[in-house]
Structure formats: structure tokens, C-alpha cells
Structure 1
Amino acid sequence: MSTSIRSATPDDLPLICAFIRELAEYEKLSHAVRFDEAVLHDHLFGPRPMAEVLIGEVAGEAQGFALFFHNFSTFEGRPGIYLEDLYVRPAARGAGLGKALLVRLAALAVERNCARLEWSVLDWNEPAIGFYRSLGAIPQEQWTVMRVDADALSQLAAGQSASAES
């Protein structure tokens, strides 16, 4: 089967939203999906896009996506690409679409003089971990992902501590 990768357009928003919901279901995180489609549209296609999306097609039909944005490495002194989401519909898995999406992202990273391409993967997702390793990805096991969101983010923004550890 032939695969192709293209940049998303505003007309792809319903498709992107569907892919996000399907990915969340696969990751057992449907309860965490709470985006507003209009806000997502603005962040992807508005005057100051915060992220980009690639659409992967198999035999001319959209079957997956990659949502990514630039980060920056102070040690390298250059930008990088952070892959937030990569998803291929179950019926299209094994057709090479996931690899094609990552190949395109790697090519964009090289074209944009980025130091690296990186992403996170859930610890239990052994098929994905094995796939990523087969492409040369190396787990960064010495790092722990930290997050501040919801009420804790508001408290931090106001200069307040969310816990007694300050």
C-alpha cells in the first residue's frame, strides 16, 4: 500500500479532533480530553500557530497524524522538534505509516537545523517502545517528566505553593 504525508489544513480540524480522541481512547485517557475545537483551531491555524500537524494517508485515505512543535536546547543552542502525538488507526498499522510520519518529522528537523527530535511514550506501550527503538530512538531513562496544570498551575502563576514543600 502506498503511504503519503501532507501538512494539515484548517479543513482537517474535524479529522485531527477525531484522531486525538481515538489516541486518547487507545491510551486509556479519554477522560482527560477536554479541548475546545475553536481554541485548538486557533492554536494550530491561527495568526500565531503553536503546533503543526502532519496527516498520514494510506491509499489516499487519512489514517494517522503527528502533532508537533518546536522546543529549544540551551546545551545545543538550537531548536528541536517535540512530537506531542503520533497515532495510526489500527486498520492501517503495519503499512509503514508510523515510520513515514517519523521520517517526515526527522526530515523537517534536519531542514530546520534542529538538534533533535524527541517525544514521550507511555511505559506500558511496549509495541510503540519496540517500534521506536527499531528506528534508533534511545529512552531517556535518567529524566522524569514534570507537569504543573489545572489548579496547581494557577496557584504557581499567583506565586502560591500547591503543597507545603516550598
Structure 2
Amino acid sequence: MIRSATPADIPGILQLIRALADYEKLSHQVVVDEARLREHLFGPCPYAEVLLAEDGGQLVGYALFFHTYSTFLGQPSLYLEDLFVLPSHRGGGFGKGLLARLARLAVERNCGRFEWMVLDWNTPAIQFYESLGAALAPEWKLCRMTGEALQRFAATAR
């Protein structure tokens, strides 16, 4: 079953985020807590949405997404930040179900694009995405500014 998250799902979402970080060997980077998730997903100005995959009442996967905007298309885009299914439930159609629901939301919301990133070492995910018809864009590189670099650069604004 694929469904939209509710505030009651916050503890489970946080567990899945930590499981994703463990899988990607990035647990040391997880600083989010339940209060921040609640504010950012269900507060007065939500920044993202979450779809959940359930199996027998147990949360087994999630997709966290938000909107961006394509100036070239003049349309919103749907951006998938995280897609994760517990290893014990992979191959059961949960990942495909989450992606299909997101594709449907993108179409319903008149989005011109549905985009996400994949780690270059994650061959199973790359093969899975390509099998669904997704095209990798090797000419694009992610730029990121965080922490002290972000603070330092922000201080130069007039």
C-alpha cells in the first residue's frame, strides 16, 4: 500500500531516514529530529511531502519530494529527494509503486519534469531507474554549499 504521510508517521519516517543513511554509509550526517520533520512536513509552511509504502501495517519505504520550477518549460517540476525501501522488502514492487505514484502526482500537478539524483556507485538503483525509462543526465553536476562555506558566502550579500 502506498499512502501520504501524516503527522503520526513522523517517528517511522525518521527511522526510514536513518536506515537510508546507514545504507549510504552517511549516518554521521543525520542531524534531523522529529520536531524539525514535523515542522517542515506539516507546519504552517511545509517544505516537502512524503509518500509511504506499507506492508501489513509496517512502514517499509518512503519517498520524500517537493516542487521546483523549470524556467525553460514554464512549469513546476517534482523533485524526489529520497527514495528508500528496506532491504528486506526490495523486489516486492514498493520502490516502483512509490515512483509510479510520484509520476502520477507530477502529471496531475501539471509538472513538466520529475527528477532525482542517484549516487554514481549505486549500480542496482541506476539499473532500476533506467529499466523504468529514466534517463541519466551525465552532463549535469550537483553543486552544493553547506556549513561554514554557506555562512561565509551569505555574509557577502549586500
- How does the TM-score come out when normalised to structure 2? 0.97
1:87 to 74, 84, 88: 84
2:77–2:113 Cα contact (<8 Å) kept: yes
Q: Give the unaligned 5+ runs of structure 2.
A: none
Mapped partners of 1:19, 1:36: distance in 2:
12
Partner of 1:20 in structure 2? Answer: 17
What is the total number of aligned residue pairs between the two structures?
A: 157
Give 1:18's aligned amino acid: Q
The residue identity in structure 2 corresponding to 1:85 is: D
> Normalising by the residue count of structure 1, what TM-score does the alignment of the two structures yield?
0.92
Deviation readout 1:26-56 (Å, 9 max, x if unpaired):
0011111111321221000101100000001
Contact 2:14 2:33 in 1 (8 A): no
Among 34, 37, 61, the residue aligned to 1:64: 61
> CA offsets per residue over residues 61-113 of structure 1, 9 Å max, x none?
22100000001100000001110000000111111000000000000000000
After TM superposition, which residue ranges in structure 1, 4 or more long, deviate above 2 angstroms?
A: 58-61
Task: Tell me whether 1:99 sits opposite 2:114 in the alignment.
Answer: no
Q: Equivalent residues in 2 for 1:118-157 (5 A)?
A: 118-157=115-154
The corresponding residue for 2:75 is 78
Q: Does 1:8 align with 2:16?
A: no
Alignment of 1:13-52 (within 5 A): 13-52=10-49
Q: SS state of the match for residue 141, structure 2?
A: coil
- How big is the alpha-carbon RMSD for the aligned residues of Structure 1 and Structure 2? 1.0
Give the % identical residues: 60
How far apart are the structure 1 equivalents of 2:123 and 2:20?
Answer: 16
Superposed displacement of residue 156, structure 1: 1.2
What is the SS of the residue equivalent to 1:19? helix
In structure 1, C-alpha distance between the alignment counterparts of 2:19 and 2:57, rounded to whole Å: 20
1:158 aligns with 2:155: yes
1:108 aligns with 2:105: yes
CA offsets 1:100-133 (integer angstroms, 9 cap, x no match): 0000000000000000111001110000000000
AA of the residue aligned to 2:81: E
